[in-house]
Amino acid sequence: MALPKLETPTYELMLPSTGEKIKYRPFLVKEYKILLTGLEADNEEVHRIITELVDICTFKKLKIETFANFDIEYIFLNMRARSIGEIANLNLQCNNCENKIDFELDITKATVKKDPNHTKQIKITDEIILEMRYPRFEEMVEIYQNFKSESVVEMLCSCIETVYTEEQKYEDYTKEELIEFVNSFSRTQFTKLEEFFLTMPKVVQHVEQVCPKCESKNEVNLEGLQNFFV
């Protein structure tokens, strides 16, 4: 007699970027093994594996490759909570005595923090406005690693969707022309572009822990999957 087929539960969540409701399922043992294997890889490979798992566990019905970084992080944390458990065992270093503090974190309490002053429309001059898109999950690896390098202009340019004024929308330009355009910014104008990335929504959980060794209070905001990982 054939073994019975197990039913996998389905859950819903709301995408932080759009408010759209999506369905997902927990990852299975075979998928969890892929994740564990990937933890030993470099950041780029880890991001690829996580994106692939999110795509599979949302039934391949969404254009995951277009999702904002914080959408993927939020979906994955919910998947992780439903698949492995809501509690993650973590540790942090005491700011006073450098002792390692072990603690349990309820990852379901992680939220997407949104800066009230954040906007996707950047006014470079009184006339010229940039319409931005959020970087995708895999793009964040390169942005974090190279934010202060010479290649940062090219990376930031990739997230400019439209350049327009009240009278005209500029669409017929090359990648090279866009890079040259951004390179002509003043420092003040370029700072406005940087602010888009620094203030965009992020998955955050506030943690407060008292060090058992020196009894000092430690507070930290955990951001990014590297802090919430398995």
35-68 pLDDT, tens digit per residue, is 877 667 677 788 888 899 999 999 999 999 889 9
Rounded to the nearest integer, the mean pLDDT of the chain is 89
* pLDDT greater at residue 6 or residue 203: 203
pLDDT of residue 228: 64
DSSP 126: S
Q: Is 224 left (phi over 0), alpha (psi -120 to 50) or beta?
A: left
pLDDT of residue 176: 93
Cβ(65)–Cβ(40) below 8 Å: no
pLDDT of residue 46: 80
Between the two ends of the chain, the Cα-to-Cα distance in Å is 37
Is residue 198 pLDDT above 80, yes or no? yes
Split at pLDDT 50, 70, 90, the class of 134 is very high
> 87-93 and 160-164: which strand pairing?
unpaired
Q: Where are the domains of the chain?
A: 11-111+202-228, 121-199
Element housing 71 (H / E):
helix 69-83
pTM for this predicted structure: 0.85
Percent above pLDDT 70 for the chain: 91
Is residue 150 pLDDT above 80, yes or no? no
Average pLDDT over residues 100-119: 93
Split at pLDDT 50, 70, 90, the class of 230 is very low
- CA-to-CA distance for 98 and 91, rounded, in angstroms? 12
Average pLDDT over residues 77-96: 92
pLDDT of residue 11: 96
Structure tokens at 201: 């929504």
